[in-house]
Chain A
Amino acid sequence: MRVPFESVLGALFGFRVEGLAATVIDLRLVRTVAALVSGASLGAAGAVLQSLFRNPLADPFVLGISSGSSLAIAATLIAGTGLGLIGAYDPQALYVAGALGALAVSLAVVALSSVLRSNLGLVLVGVMLGYLASGLTTLLVVTSDVERVRAFTFWTLGTFSASKWSVVNSVLPIAVGSLLASLLVAKPLNALLFGEDAAATTGASVRASRVGAVAVAASLVSCSVVISGPVGFVGLAAPHAVRILLKTEDNRLTVPLSALVGAELAVLSDIAARTLMSPLELPVTAVTSLFGAPIVLALVVRRWGFR
């Protein structure tokens, strides 16, 4: 729907806008804020993961962490509402579940990364874990009542169209806290760039640093998934954009700036999802895949080349 520009300005600067226009502005505003928060979380999480795994292909979606989070949320929702433990929609409970799901997959990836020698192997494992999680999520969706399913179908897809103030408002402080925490893991992540042994000798506690980084990433991913479901490739593209623009590997810069770029990317992708095929609306993951997948391909070709 078209909303007059004056009404938009009026709404943004606190004048009352009457009727349908007000509703539309409210809907769009919450969507935008949701995209900003989700995108920022994904961007920062991607930067942390890429540095932690020293893998340019690491990303919450690629490594299956988003899907794991989504699965945990779906399971909690079904089990919780079935048993009457949580309300139909308690974002903070879902955040905790999502964070645990993200953590579980992250730890699985960490464990496997110490076995797997190759970066591509790790990505393959992550993608498979992601498929496994979304397979299980689909299984849950198909086998449960139709009414409950509707509540979380979007978590398997990733979109900002279902955003609500109730969710965004309760996740926002957690997301801000996690983003601040991501600034604190930047220093030990920098030390880890020199290798674990070297990091230990500069005064970093290697295990604590890695655990901290994984926890922060899992929390960020969960914030994003609770708001928008698993949105792909934002966490991959944002840190690369930052590194190309700034030519730095200093995580004290790449992590916060990836959050900014991630927020930007998410909002732009959402606008594209709404307008490209208007009045049809695309899931935002479709849009992010369109730019994200080529980036992965380009990285793979550039780094590992044709033989």
Chain B
Amino acid sequence: MRAKDLSVGYGSKEVLSGVSLEVEKGKLTLVVGPNASGKSTLLKTLAGILRPLGGVVTIDGKEVHRMRSRERARSIGAVTTSRPQVSEMTVEEVVGMGRYPWTGPLHLLTAGDREVVERAMRVTGVLHLRRRRISELSDGQLQRVLIARALAQEPDYLILDEPTTHLDAPSRIEVMTLLRDLAKGEGVGVIASTHELELALRFGDKVVLVSSGTVRVYSRPEDAVRDPEFVGAFSVGRSISLSPVTLSVEVLQRPRGDAPKAFVVSGSGTGPPVFRALVRRGYAVSAGVLHENDIDYHVAVSMGIDVVSERPYFPISEAAVREALERASESDVVVFTYPPIGPLNSGNLRLVEEALAMGMEVYGIGSARPYEIPGLRTVNSVEELPYGSERRISVAPNLPPWPRTQSVGSSPRSSSSSRDR
């Protein structure tokens, strides 16, 4: 299915223009973009529901909008966002409705039709629900039934508008997995829109960004992540980042001007939980010394954390340690996460010892401590750290130390407002 130089919209109102994309059989194409960017309009036009304002959609050279509705329904199946009003119908009846373009005027199903219906129910995993009424289904089950119904049309292409919206987390993954399986197993060309950026990046063979009046097509999710336009479409004033390595969305830290500073010494995955907890508490976080191939380095960079780094597989240099010490001395608190220590990163141990010797406030964090560092104060969680230095808290000398009951998820805003008291 190809769209060439398509413009879509309602009436005279053009929503998107210059759209050229290909939906390939056997591939899952996921369409992402901000709300009201025109995702639905695009999909409705591809499905033949809306006429294009310009350009054409073709399947094997045949123009979709010139096909008779029966013929079109035999090559394109769709799942729309409207809730069907068939609560008393059984699953099997609803899936049977998918035979519409193949049956006569009374919609009597032949043995062949029934076989197709059964197969559609089987591949979507709703065969065991066949006698259930629609009103008895969960949202996730209903979505799979509607997909089965579209599949019963025996289409070459499947178009779905927001199939994961309103579903709980496990159902979202289930539906995405199903779509991928339909593409791979049944050879259907699947195109679906979604709000789930991370799911789109992980499940999509192809990613389409719909934003500011046009589309961008990325033949690999990794290409999308590298495109600043793509990231920009999802963040207000650069509030998130996307890691091309892990394909994960991170919220960039945006500390207030007077935020207390924390310097984290970590490695091998011990850092990220602490980075996130510190950012949630309102700290301005920096970190080091991290090797550039350390997972902590990737997460820190995608969170917008300043990192003192070292080249991969090189021992931490003296210069790096000195730079990190300088950064640490500018911070209100230094946090050590007990990373595994080997020949390449033993510089970090020296860093902590020197920081202690210089009289910095250094805290070891974590309940499992594989080794001891003499003179290191230990806490169980970020919540037990003083918020900023004693100097900052001394503005209100009678304030008790941070209560242990403070929840992990407390927002920086609420913590800082209580600090301002």
Chain A residues engaging chain B, CB cutoff 8 angstroms: 54, 183-184, 186-187, 190-191, 193-198, 200-205, 243, 247-250, 252
A191, A195, A202, A243: the one contacting B88 at CB < 8 Å is: A243
Given the complex, which residues of A lie within 8 Å of B36, measured CB to CB? none
* Known pairs A200-B48, A202-B153, A203-B153; A193 contacts B100 (CB<8 A): no
CB pair A200–B69 under 8 Å, yes or no, is yes
CB pair B100–A187 under 8 Å, yes or no, is yes
Nearest chain A CB to B82 CB, angstrom units:
3
CB pair B74–A191 under 8 Å, yes or no, is no
CB pair B74–A203 under 8 Å, yes or no, is yes
**In the bound complex, how far is the Cα of B86 from the Cα of A120, in angstroms?**
20
CB pair B105–A198 under 8 Å, yes or no, is no
Closest A residue to B78 using CB positions: A201
User: 29 pairs across A/B with beta carbons < 8 Å?
Assistant: A184-B105, A184-B106, A186-B106, A186-B107, A187-B103, A187-B105, A190-B107, A191-B97, A194-B84, A195-B80, A197-B80, A197-B82, A198-B78, A198-B79, A198-B80, A198-B82, A198-B84, A201-B48, A201-B77, A202-B98, A202-B100, A202-B101, A202-B149, A203-B70, A203-B72, A203-B100, A203-B153, A247-B88, A252-B107
| Among all A-B residue pairs, the 7 with the closest Cβ atoms | A203-B73, A195-B82, A203-B101, A201-B78, A202-B100, A194-B84, A187-B107
A198, A203, A249: the one contacting B69 at CB < 8 Å is: A203
Hey, what's the 0/1 contact readout for B81-121 against A, CB within 8 Å counting as 1?
01111111100010001101101011100000000000000
Nearest chain A CB to B116 CB, angstrom units:
14
CB pair A201–B47 under 8 Å, yes or no, is yes
**In the bound complex, how far is the Cα of B305 from the Cα of A116, in angstroms?**
54
CB pair A187–B86 under 8 Å, yes or no, is no
Given the complex, which residues of B lie within 8 Å of A195, measured CB to CB? 80, 82-84
Given the complex, which residues of B lie within 8 Å of A243, measured CB to CB? 88
Closest A residue to B40 using CB positions: A197
**In the bound complex, how far is the Cα of B101 from the Cα of A191, in angstroms?**
11
Q: CB of B150 within 8 A of chain A?
A: yes
Given the complex, which residues of B lie within 8 Å of A248, measured CB to CB? 88-89, 93
**In the bound complex, how far is the Cα of B118 from the Cα of A117, in angstroms?**
37
* Known pairs A200-B69, A201-B150, A243-B88; A250 contacts B93 (CB<8 A): yes
For B47, B97, B159, the residue with the greatest tally of chain A CB atoms inside 10 Å of its CB is B97
Given contacts A195-B82, A202-B101, A203-B74, 15 further A-B contacts (CB under 8 A): A186-B106, A187-B107, A194-B97, A195-B84, A197-B44, A197-B80, A197-B82, A198-B79, A201-B47, A201-B49, A201-B159, A202-B73, A204-B69, A248-B93, A252-B107
Given the complex, which residues of B lie within 8 Å of A247, measured CB to CB? 88, 133
**In the bound complex, how far is the Cα of B86 from the Cα of A243, in angstroms?**
12
CB pair A201–B73 under 8 Å, yes or no, is yes
Q: CB of B76 within 8 A of chain A?
A: yes
Given the complex, which residues of A lie within 8 Å of B88, measured CB to CB? 243, 247-249
Closest B residue to A246 using CB positions: B88
Given the complex, which residues of A lie within 8 Å of B93, measured CB to CB? 248, 250
Given the complex, which residues of A lie within 8 Å of B85, measured CB to CB? 54, 193-194, 249
Given the complex, which residues of B lie within 8 Å of A184, measured CB to CB? 105-106
Given the complex, which residues of B lie within 8 Å of A200, measured CB to CB? 48-49, 69
Closest B residue to A195 using CB positions: B82
Given the complex, which residues of B lie within 8 Å of A205, measured CB to CB? 69
Given the complex, which residues of A lie within 8 Å of B107, measured CB to CB? 186-187, 190, 252
